[in-house]
Amino acid sequence: MHAPRADRHPHERTHHGDTFVDHYEWLRDGAAPEVQAHLAAENAFTDRVTAPLAEARETFFNDVAARTKQTDLSVASWVTHFTPEPRPHWYYSRTVEGLEYRIHARVPAEHRDTPPDPEVGIPDNEEILLDGNAEALGHDFFSLGDCDPSPDGNRLAWSVDTTGDERYTLGFRTVVGGHAWPERIENTAGGVAWAGNDTVFYLLTDDAWRPYRVMRHVIGTDPAEDTEVFTETDDKFWVSVSNSRDGDWVVIDSSSKITSEVWLLPTATPEAAPRPVAPRRDGVEYAVEPAGDRLFIVHNDGATDFALAEAPLDASGPEQWREVIAERPGVRLLDVSAHRGHAVLALRVGGLTAIRVLPRDASGDLDPTEQDGYPGRAIEVDEPLRTLLPIPEVDYDSPRVRFHHTSLVTPPLVGEVDLASGEQRVLRRTPVLDHPEHGPYRPEDYVQEHLWATAADGTRVPISLVRRADAPPGPAPLILYGYGSYEIPTEPTFAAWRISLLDQGITWAIAHVRGGGELGRSWYEDGKFAAKPNTFTDFVDCARHLIDAGYTSPDRLGAFGGSAGGLLMGAVANLAPELFRAILASVPFVDPLTSILDPSLPLTVIEWDEWGNPLADPEIYAVMKGYAPYENLRPVRYPEILAATSFHDTRVLFVEPAKWVAALRHTATNPDQDILLRVEMSAGHGGVSGRYQLWQQLAFEMTWLIDRITRDVPDHTDGSIQG
């Protein structure tokens, strides 16, 4: 079998005295017949090469389906509507076996202790807000953006993307009866806010897919007459809009990667102009949480790992902020959610998430009394390596705190703490069903470990790892996952599909490399701009540590990452191809310099605060030139590579992996079948949309990677097989 060979048409790009000749830039025009033909040929070749894995894919898919409760209810949330009397409801979503999409519904609520029970089934008095399966009919792709009821609970604002490009069409309907108003508003971003029961604030996107303008719409009127409320003119800033938890405010947030500005507008007077809480200052980030008679503000003004302040409702500058909790170096304050009687803090300590609850007295003041060296009372779970995050309640008057707990071996659960009694109860454990052949899932059959690798500069890099407890000693097949950008941490969480890997003797590990958010703001800063190469060398050092410690060997080691993690995959393939047997790169950002040099492309300008601006800065250009996967290919044998992408992806355009694979085929010494490209033609950045479709996509990608790291190793000198 011979792989498609893309034609080479030289295209020069010159900056700062450096010229790069790009032979595959012509692949950018996705509408061109020759590009469509090339992508079809790539998919056909990949299908032929992977055809022997069809049975393994079916087994993987069936394993996921067998362990998943396919007809199920989520944990319900208490929401009180006023019409004008209080009218509480339980809101939830549910799935039905055989159907791709969630059904969003509610039932009248009688008591906080009696939410709908997933084990009982569908309540008789259910009201369906939106059935994703009905709305998806006739579409190859369906993604729900908004599904937000009005304050009186009688109307619904909802939006949908049917291509995968993350541009949504916004519409309105009644909850009961489903009467739809005629207006449809195109090219919106996700996120709406209500002001009363007739007025909705929404976001428009510009040509670069950037949410930049807040509009006000009155239901039943022509959208052409909508009022512009706020417009962000700086291309580095993205805008969001939402309602405050107490329902009194429309919150407009305009943020770049390093700077933020928040504007408030009272819902009681939707025609009013929004006002800023504090003017933007370069490098200062802050988030505002309205809390009744005051504002809570999480900020980094003089606080690298963030601090908590409060301010009056009419605050207009940081001089009105009063410190409540000072920065604690090494304790990253992530978020605050305010309720009438308490506030909930989300933290990161020692690489792991944590929750603190601070009571509010009758006047609304927080009690910052310390327990265990930090203000507030900790919510504890008995598991050292875990993910523990608060679930912000919609209900401002809630007397309870909900939390999410999971780990590499613990299926997700939603718990609740009663603040008056301190009682903690489990509302729901995500079920893992008995497998018809392998029996029940037992956490004790698996072991998770927290390891540390030492980077070349002496930095200790954490690794989370899970494997079968009865795995035989010696090097095992291992998949090493990484991301490492945007201060986004990779949490140690459970995945039912991963059981299939572990039960085949495969170890799963996460390299918590610099550039992510695992160890506070400094961990992120040490993996961005000119320090970005630390992300890539950290991953290589984690791989070497796992090999040296006997967990795996180069012929059994696979790597996996997506988006910015796909950049990581491309970079480590160039840095240390000898360490990895196979690499799965999902929607990979492998041509970063071309993209970040072009301000007309989606997301480019806002990304300058993450990667640097190579247009203006020769040093940043040189750094990016040094690690860009597409521009640093060598005539060596690379690991086997599967690049998986989506045609309608607006975050990482399909052209990047298409060009990368074409250049790899031209440069690498591998056989054709070692380098594969798969393009989902009806999908976006997150892949295909339906849950069964996602399982099929996951099965395709994982069985390829599993096959590569578990089969015998060919000796490429004489054609023999090494066991």
Q: What is the pLDDT of residues 348-364, one digit of tens each?
A: 999 999 999 999 999 99
Which of 609, 649, 674, 689 is the catalytic position? 649
With a cut of 80, say whether residue 720 has pLDDT above it.
no
- Helices and strands of the chain, counted as H and E runs: 12, 42
74 is catalytic: no
Where are the chain's structural domains? 282-432, 445-712
- Cα–Cα distance between 238 and 205 in angstroms, integer? 10
Per-residue confidence (pLDDT) for residue 224, from 0 to 100: 97
Per-residue confidence (pLDDT) for residue 719, from 0 to 100: 34
| Amino acid letter, residue 427 | L
CATH superfamily of 282-432: Prolyl oligopeptidase, N-terminal domain (2.130.10.120)
- Cα–Cα distance between 535 and 515 in angstroms, integer? 6
**How many angstroms separate the Cα of 176 from the Cα of each of 42, 46, 183, 565, 686?**
48, 48, 19, 44, 32
Phi/psi at 635 (nearest 5 deg)? Answer: -80, 65
With a cut of 70, say whether residue 723 has pLDDT above it.
no
Which of 563, 586, 595, 689 is the catalytic position? 563
- DSSP symbol at 430: -
- Cα–Cα distance between 229 and 353 in angstroms, integer? 37
- Cα–Cα distance between 160 and 354 in angstroms, integer? 34
Top pLDDT among 110 and 407 is at 407
For residues 627-644, average pLDDT: 98
Neighbour-count burial of 302, counting CB atoms closer than 10 A to its CB (0-12 exposed, 13-18 middle, 19+ buried): exposed
Q: What is the pLDDT of residues 178-218, one digit of tens each?
A: 899 999 999 999 999 999 999 999 999 998 889 999 999 99
Contacts 24+ apart (CB under 8 A), 397-403: 397/80, 397/339, 397/340, 397/341, 398/78, 398/339, 399/112, 399/341, 400/112, 401/342, 401/344, 401/355, 401/357, 402/75, 402/427, 403/355, 403/379
- Cβ-proximal residues to 373 (8 Å cutoff; 6+ apart), any chain: none
Residue carrying the six token digits 């190579």: 614
Q: Do residues 316 and 276 touch, judged by C-beta distance below 8 A?
A: yes
**Which pLDDT band, with edges at 50, 70 and 90, does 407 fall under?**
very high
Per-residue confidence (pLDDT) for residue 722, from 0 to 100: 35
Which of 143, 526, 685, 689 is the catalytic position? 685
Per-residue confidence (pLDDT) for residue 716, from 0 to 100: 37
Question: What's the Rg (C-alpha) of the chain?
Answer: 26
With a cut of 70, say whether residue 2 has pLDDT above it.
yes
Four-point Cα dihedral 448, 450, 451, 456, nearest 10: 130
**Encoded tokens for 675:** 């380098």
Classify strands 103-108 and 127-131 as parallel, antiparallel or unpaired.
Answer: antiparallel
Give the architecture-level CATH label for domain 445-712. Answer: 3-Layer(aba) Sandwich (3.40)
Instruction: Count CA within 13 A, CB hemisphere, residue 268.
Output: 2
For residues 385-409, average pLDDT: 94
Minimal CA–CA distance to 57: which of 703, 711, 705? 703
Mean pLDDT over the full length of the chain: 95
- Cβ-proximal residues to 362 (8 Å cutoff; 6+ apart), any chain: none
Q: Is the preceding omega at residue 384 within 30 degrees of 0, hence cis?
A: no
Least confident of 315-319, 469-473, 503-507: 469-473
With a cut of 90, say whether residue 172 has pLDDT above it.
yes
Q: What is the pLDDT of residues 46-68, one digit of tens each?
A: 999 999 999 999 999 999 999 99
**Which pLDDT band, with edges at 50, 70 and 90, does 718 fall under?**
very low
**Which pLDDT band, with edges at 50, 70 and 90, does 121 fall under?**
confident
With a cut of 50, say whether residue 717 has pLDDT above it.
no
**Residues forming a β-bridge with 519:** none
SS (H, E, C) 80-107: EEECCCEEEEEEEEEECCCCCCCEEEEE
Quote the pTM value: 0.96
Q: Do residues 647 and 682 touch, judged by C-beta distance below 8 A?
A: yes
500 is catalytic: no
Per-residue confidence (pLDDT) for residue 713, from 0 to 100: 58
| Amino acid letter, residue 692 | Y
Q: Do residues 159 and 171 touch, judged by C-beta distance below 8 A?
A: yes
563 is catalytic: yes
